[in-house]
C-alpha cells in the first residue's frame, strides 16, 4: 500500500519543487502517466504481489524505460517523461525491496 501512495506523493513533491506556477496542470499530466499500469490487465494473474513489474509487463520493459528517460529531455514531453520515469523508478525500487532484484528477467 505504501508503494501505491508513493506513486501520488513523489510526483506531488516534483511538481511542488519545479512546477509551482502551473502545479495543477503538471500534477494532472504526471498522474495521467499512471495509465501505464493498464498493461497489468494482460497479465495472469492481474496482480501478483511477488512479481516484479519491470521487465515483465509490456509497458514496463527496459526499452520503454529508456524511452521514458529520453522524453524527459524534450521540453514538450518532459512532464510525461518525468511522470513515467518516476513511476518506473518506484516500481524498480519496489522490485528490489520485494524480490531483491531491480528488474524481472
In a domain, 105, yes or no: no
Phi and psi, residue 20, nearest 5°: -60, -40
pTM metric for this prediction: 0.92
Tally the domains of the chain. 1
Domain of residue 9 covers 2-99
pLDDT tens digit at each of 105 positions of the chain: 798 999 999 999 999 999 999 999 999 999 999 999 999 999 999 888 888 999 999 999 999 999 999 999 999 999 999 999 999 999 999 999 988 888 877
In a domain, 22, yes or no: yes
Amino acid at each position: 500500500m505504501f508503494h501505491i501512495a508513493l506513486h501520488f506523493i513523489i510526483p506531488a513533491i516534483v511538481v511542488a519543487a519545479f512546477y509551482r506556477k502551473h502545479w495543477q496542470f503538471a500534477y494532472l499530466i504526471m498522474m495521467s502517466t499512471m495509465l501505464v499500469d493498464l498493461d497489468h490487465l494482460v497479465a495472469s494473474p492481474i496482480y501478483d504481489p511477488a512479481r516484479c513489474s519491470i521487465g515483465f509487463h509490456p509497458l514496463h520493459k527496459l526499452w520503454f524505460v529508456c524511452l521514458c528517460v529520453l522524453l524527459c529531455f524534450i521540453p514538450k514531453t518532459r512532464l510525461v517523461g518525468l511522470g513515467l520515469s518516476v513511476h518506473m523508478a518506484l516500481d524498480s525500487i519496489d522490485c528490489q525491496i520485494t524480490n531483491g532484484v531491480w528488474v524481472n528477467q
